[in-house]
Structure 1
Amino acid sequence: MKASLLQMTSGIDPAANARVIAEGVAQAAAEGSAMLFTPEMSGLLDGNRARAAEHVVAQQEDRVLAATREAAAKHGIWVHLGSLAVKAPEAGCDKFLNRGFVIDASGEIRASYDKLHLFDVDLATGESWRESNTYCRGERAIVVDTPIGRLGLAICYDMRFPDLFRALSDAGATALAVPAAFTRPTGQAHWHLLLRARAVEAAAFVIAAAQTGTHEDGRATYGHSLVIDPWGEILLDMGEEAGLGSAEIDLARVEDVRSRVPVLRHRRPIPPVETFV
């Protein structure tokens, strides 16, 4: 079956971003895809916190989410909306949550996931990011059954933490969604490397829809949305252009790889580490 990825250059206007997503949904459905994947922060990418805060609302009030659900139902296609910034005081969060959504072909939300690991780093280029100033971290790991198999959910910086992907594959995930807004320096160094490693370790497909290009708020993202098979082979690399790309997901490939190198069956609890000095 076919999975489509929408590589975006999201900006500071949620309505404009919603139109791009709705058009992507329609195009993916017309091309026969079973599911569309969008990047992290699909609905709003704005480093100006005060300006961004004017658009961040609870998920039931979010117009991008509503437009995506409407488009999914209209065109009869599942959508993984990579993530949105949402308010969630009911979850005990006094900031925002970076939340992804899996939406079925009738427009219903089947699952949501809040980013577990927050990007608090200082890069050699002088870029400094403090997601924890704006976002609360999530508390749950999530898998959900979809037309392309059992899907484990992650977001961007999560990819650096293999324990999460071990937990997702232990829970039966045969595909892993990793929407992202990766910086160019870290993307050039680690994007392909880390995602291929996660695919091989879990013996699962990795589907990583990404932001790309120079955004209205001035940041630059790496692009290169990827689909990687369980053997670590890259089936799709979208480069740096915004738009739609697709790849075939053959679930028999998961069983084939896992039968040849049965890493999941060979996993065992790690004993305490002994230190010698």
Structure 2
Amino acid sequence: MNKGWNHELKRNLCFEDRYAKKVKIAVIQMKVDRDVDKNITVAEDFIRKSVYDGADMVVLPEMFCCPYETSNFPIYAELEGGDIYNRLSSIASRFGIYLVAGSVPEIDKFCRVYNTSYIFDRSGTKIGKHRKMHLFDIDVEGGQYFKESDTLTPGDSICVFNTEFGKMGLCICYDFRFVELSRIMVDEGANIIIVPAAFNMTTGPAHWENLFKMRAVDNQVYTIGAAPARDYDSSYTSYGNSIVVSPWGEVVNKMNEEEGYFIVDLDLNYIDKIRKELPLLKQRRHDIYTISNK
């Protein structure tokens, strides 16, 4: 059932009051197959269920359309405006939702490959795009080895996009570890930071929940992490545990490792309340320190 039919009315009413103060966001945690068509079909099925449950926005995981392997990225990569892009745009339009389309491999005209997230509004129009800026090159003794830079090129821009619910920031997985990026998004007006991500079985148990709590508390925003479901038959095993944390550092909702989705009803007035009671952002000493993205 499509409950997005009245989105134009909702949008017009919301913008009369500047921004709506409550938003329902669905976070999808799905297994990833080698078949792109199958992955998009699974994503669409979850989106349909989310819309039936009243979601305004749906967030997909990092690399939801192909296995998370460096060798795969050039094989699956498409130009912006390709088949995957158009299908995602069509899904957003058909269901009348904002769609944060996880991330997909994107290739440009110079044959550079990126880990890219597209954001579509209720009409299917692209309103944001982020290319992963910090590439996941790690080698943990006795744990995970991965080197995205073998096939990927880093992005060089920060993504903050506008909605009827206010501004939101987006980064991808490893980007979230870099504190400067989150603070810049918040300084540009983001009240929610969305993170399609695929932490693994080394970094996930150690850092996943801690990072979402820390970024939420430091910046007094909601943080949202959407991960692939865990698949032990995959060459890269996702930790799962998709999560939403409040600006007070409370876990609003969190999954385990299994496939599924949840919807959170976020009260954006709560951000204002926390920032009024504990005015961290206003109390910063800009006369003494500054944040640089160098």
Q: Quick one: which of 45, 48, 52 aligns to 2:67?
A: 45
Q: Provide the residue aligned with 2:3 in structure 1.
A: none
SS of the aligned residue for 1:253 comes to helix
Q: Provide the residue aligned with 1:140 in structure 2.
A: 157
Q: Provide the residue aligned with 1:254 in structure 2.
A: 271
SS of the aligned residue for 1:212 comes to coil
Post-superposition Cα deviations, 1:84-135, rounded to whole Å, max 9, x if no partner, equal 1110136xxx431111111111111111011111111002334311111111
Residue 52 (structure 2) pairs with residue 24 (structure 1)? no
Q: Provide the residue aligned with 2:283 in structure 1.
A: 266
Post-superposition Cα deviations, 1:17-41, rounded to whole Å, max 9, x if no partner, equal 1111111221111111110001111
Q: CA RMSD in A?
A: 1.8
- Asked if the contact 2:89–2:120 (Cα under 8 Å) also holds between the matched residues in 1, the reply is yes
- Asked if the contact 2:168–2:194 (Cα under 8 Å) also holds between the matched residues in 1, the reply is yes
Residues 32-111 of structure 1 aligned to structure 2 (within 5 Å): 32-47=54-69, 49=71, 52-61=73-82, 63-89=83-109, 94-111=111-128
Q: 1:160 to 1:114 in 2, by over 3 A?
A: same
Q: For residues 66 and 153 of structure 1, what CA distance do their matches in structure 2 show? A: 20
- Asked if the contact 1:12–1:46 (Cα under 8 Å) also holds between the matched residues in 2, the reply is no
Residue 144 (structure 2) pairs with residue 127 (structure 1)? yes
Q: 1:95 to 1:126 in 2, by over 3 A?
A: farther
Tell me the TM-score normalized by structure 1.
0.91
Q: For residues 126 and 198 of structure 1, what CA distance do their matches in structure 2 show? A: 25
Q: 1:185 to 1:270 in 2, by over 3 A?
A: farther
SS of the aligned residue for 2:40 comes to helix
Post-superposition Cα deviations, 1:46-71, rounded to whole Å, max 9, x if no partner, equal 4261x55332121211x332222111
Residues 185-264 of structure 1 aligned to structure 2 (within 5 Å): 185-214=202-231, 217-264=234-281
Q: 1:270 to 1:212 in 2, by over 3 A?
A: farther
Tell me the TM-score normalized by structure 2.
0.86
Q: 1:72 to 1:262 in 2, by over 3 A?
A: same
Q: 1:227 to 1:187 in 2, by over 3 A?
A: same
Identity of aligned residues (%): 31
Post-superposition Cα deviations, 1:190-239, rounded to whole Å, max 9, x if no partner, equal 00001100001110001111112116642211001011111010111011
What amino acid is the match of 1:56? A
What amino acid is the match of 1:220? T
- Asked if the contact 2:137–2:146 (Cα under 8 Å) also holds between the matched residues in 1, the reply is yes
Q: Provide the residue aligned with 2:18 in structure 1.
A: none
The offset of 1:270, in angstroms, is 7.4
Residue 27 (structure 2) pairs with residue 5 (structure 1)? yes
- Asked if the contact 2:113–2:151 (Cα under 8 Å) also holds between the matched residues in 1, the reply is yes
Structure 2 portions without partners, runs of 5+: 1-22
Q: 1:162 to 1:199 in 2, by over 3 A?
A: same
Q: 1:120 to 1:270 in 2, by over 3 A?
A: farther
- Asked if the contact 2:230–2:237 (Cα under 8 Å) also holds between the matched residues in 1, the reply is yes
SS of the aligned residue for 2:42 comes to helix
Q: Provide the residue aligned with 2:9 in structure 1.
A: none
SS of the aligned residue for 1:213 comes to coil
Give the count of matched residue pairs: 268
Q: For residues 65 and 175 of structure 2, what CA distance do their matches in structure 1 show? A: 20
Q: For residues 289 and 209 of structure 2, what CA distance do their matches in structure 1 show? A: 32
The offset of 1:171, in angstroms, is 0.6
Q: 1:265 to 1:240 in 2, by over 3 A?
A: same
- Asked if the contact 2:245–2:251 (Cα under 8 Å) also holds between the matched residues in 1, the reply is yes
Q: For residues 169 and 180 of structure 1, what CA distance do their matches in structure 2 show? A: 19
- Asked if the contact 1:115–1:158 (Cα under 8 Å) also holds between the matched residues in 2, the reply is yes
- Asked if the contact 2:26–2:57 (Cα under 8 Å) also holds between the matched residues in 1, the reply is yes
